């Protein structure tokens, strides 16, 4: 009989899918890592039973965490990724020729090692000499390194356990300090459809607004993440994601994506009324 | 032990949720109707085991099927709803004072009767003298009645069984004939995340473009529908959903919604690249 996995969104709901084969399991100092093969999503990486990466639709999350900020900044030269061990975000950052260096600080080396075996399409970018991997705690790294980044992307797991600190104001303040005077921070910010997470989104939004003049939350449809709708928050010291310059860069760029495009760069920032009731962007 | 229901999106995936209580079951000539109480979504109506309506988030589908067209048309006087037996769409149409008459043609009287018992917040609008219910086959109704509607909304179940005909060109041609010379047709159009359904969406889009000069597909995030992203297609004889008039009406309207707003009126029509690869709106 076929085995099914349920990716819980609450104790009483979740996304269920058939597991054709359990390919790998191992427990790192931080979490249990499983790789399963599925009919609908291809290979899937689970961290402590929570769906993180799929062959079939990883592009939505990774494009949407990275591209809106990469196109908003006129010259993203030095980029820092916190988390992102599967390298899907890193691969999309390196698509931009203006990027000269990307430092990725992932806490769990085993995630990257497993990704190399099961998601080689994501980790192939590690051959790029512009990529530098550090396996360490991102929070501690940022406390010690204020190196002048153009862009910081926070590609974290959910706000529990070792990742909880990546959703706190102290961490955002360290990010602010590590950015150049025109830098941009962009974080993954969970699903507004889950009531507890919408409260967290609102708190994060307030914290970011206390630090950055421009805070622009935006959304993407991710079928394999909780409730199918995912939020990101861009916090920018100078640049607006809606300036004519952004769209001029987009029309000139010779990059093709599977989800992101110029229409999405504008539309992703439109918030449904139930989200607008909880958070107010500083830029509309 | 708690009982769970799985709303299948394919034979190998679906949305699972705990059923706290099974409140009602009955089989009509068309389908089995179940009402269950859930922790996450409140009361839920299932038709042949497929989730149709929830207390918690029915507003997204019903607002997004109705409001973009209602605000696009300068004076939606006579409206026809095909399907929509739960009356959630009807309730949102009647919010507009310009609407003088709404005829709803639902094939299954039992759906409306059950909705009266379990979703009275949706059926309360039946007291409105502008609402007229006909329990009949919508396809046959439109073949016989070419009455000059301003707006036709197709609020159907999935394209199987008795609802399959509501996704065919013949039916759209009858809708076209039943609309005034400046009328608008808007249909629910399934989830682009499900590969077979994306093919259907593309076919429907081609059929609509062969009949209407303006065909504008758009999206909404519906956490309880297949894969969390839902498509609608607006087919219009004259009016554009992006004209300044539309936004002027929106800014003057004293209506408040839970999902829909002026930003969404624009942004919902932005299509991710994987959808753009399959369909081309006649209006961008």
Catalytic site residues of A?
155
Please report the sign of the dihedral spanned by the C-alpha atoms of residue A81, residue A86, residue A88, residue A91.
positive
User: Residue A261 and residue B267: Cβ atoms within 8 Å?
Assistant: no
Q: How many CB atoms lie within 10 A of CB B44?
A: 26
| Residue A162 clears pLDDT 90, i.e. is over it | no
| Residue B116 clears pLDDT 60, i.e. is over it | yes
Q: How many CB atoms lie within 10 A of CB B150?
A: 23
Calculate mean pLDDT across residues A198-205.
96
- For testing contact with chain A, the best of B10, B16, B255 (most A CBs within 10 A): B16
Q: What is the CATH number of domain A58-276?
A: 3.40.50.150
Band (pLDDT 50/70/90 cuts) for residue B221 is very high
Q: Decide if domain B3-54 falls under CATH 2.30.140.10.
A: yes
Which residues in chain A are closer than 8 Å to B190, comparing Cβ atoms?
none
Which residues in chain A are closer than 8 Å to B15, comparing Cβ atoms?
13-16
> What per-residue confidence (pLDDT) applies to B2?
77
- For testing contact with chain A, the best of B223, B224, B229, B262 (most A CBs within 10 A): B223
Catalytic site residues of B?
155
Which residues in chain A are closer than 8 Å to B271, comparing Cβ atoms?
263
> What per-residue confidence (pLDDT) applies to B147?
79
Calculate mean pLDDT across residues B135-155.
94
| Residue A224 clears pLDDT 60, i.e. is over it | yes
- Chain B contact for A221, CB < 8 A? yes
Would you say A57 and A72 are in contact if contact means Cβ atoms under 8 Å apart? Answer: no
For domain B58-240, the CATH superfamily is Vaccinia Virus protein VP39 (3.40.50.150)
How do residues B26-48 score in pLDDT, each as one tens digit?
A: 999 999 999 999 999 999 999 99
How do residues A53-89 score in pLDDT, each as one tens digit?
A: 999 999 999 999 999 999 999 999 999 999 999 999 9
| Residue A284 clears pLDDT 90, i.e. is over it | no
> What per-residue confidence (pLDDT) applies to B1?
58
Average pLDDT, chain B: 96
| Residue A227 clears pLDDT 80, i.e. is over it | yes
User: Residue A270 and residue B267: Cβ atoms within 8 Å?
Assistant: yes
- Chain A contact for B267, CB < 8 A? yes
How do residues A241-255 score in pLDDT, each as one tens digit?
A: 999 999 999 999 999
| Residue B284 clears pLDDT 60, i.e. is over it | no
> What per-residue confidence (pLDDT) applies to B24?
98
B245 contacts: CB under 8 Å, gap ≥ 6? B74, B239
- Chain A contact for B49, CB < 8 A? no
Calculate mean pLDDT across residues B201-230.
97
What residues does each domain of chain A span?
3-54, 58-276
* Predicted TM-score (pTM) of this structure: 0.97
> What per-residue confidence (pLDDT) applies to A283?
67
- Burial per residue of A87-96, b for 16 or more beta-carbon CB atoms within 10 angstroms, e otherwise: bbbbbbbbbb
How far, in Å, CA of B148 to CA of B143, rounded? 13
How do residues A180-191 score in pLDDT, each as one tens digit?
A: 999 999 999 999
């Amino acid at each position: 009989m076929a085995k099914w996995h349920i990716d819980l969104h609450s104790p009483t709901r979740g996304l269920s899918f058939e597991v054709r084969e359990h390919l790998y399991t191992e427990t790192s100092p931080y979490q249990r890592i499983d790789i399963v093969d599925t009919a609908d999503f291809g290979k899937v990486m689970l961290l402590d039973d929570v769906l993180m990466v799929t062959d079939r639709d990883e592009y939505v999350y990774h494009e949407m965490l990275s591209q809106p900020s990469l196109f908003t900044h006129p010259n993203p030269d030095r980029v820092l990724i916190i988390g992102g061990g599967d390298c899907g975000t890193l691969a999309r950052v390196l698509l931009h020729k203006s990027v000269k260096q990307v430092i990725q600080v992932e806490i769990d080396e085993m995630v990257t090692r497993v990704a190399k075996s099961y998601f080689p399409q994501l980790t192939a970018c590690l051959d790029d000499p512009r990529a530098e991997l550090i396996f360490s705690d991102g929070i501690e790294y940022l406390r010690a390194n204020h190196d002048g980044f153009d862009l910081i992307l926070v590609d974290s797991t959910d706000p529990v356990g070792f990742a909880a600190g990546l959703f706190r104001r102290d961490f955002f303040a360290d990010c602010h300090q590590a950015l150049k005077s025109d830098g941009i921070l962009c974080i993954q910010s969970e699903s507004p459809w889950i009531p507890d997470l919408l409260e967290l989104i609102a708190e994060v939004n307030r914290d970011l607004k206390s630090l950055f003049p421009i805070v622009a939350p935006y959304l993407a449809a991710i079928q394999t993440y909780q409730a199918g709708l995912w939020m990101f928050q861009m916090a920018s010291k100078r640049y607006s994601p809606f300036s004519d310059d952004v769209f001029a860069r987009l029309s000139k760029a010779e990059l093709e994506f599977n989800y992101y495009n110029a229409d999405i760069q504008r539309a992703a920032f439109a918030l449904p009324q139930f989200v607008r009731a909880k958070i107010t962007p500083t830029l509309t």
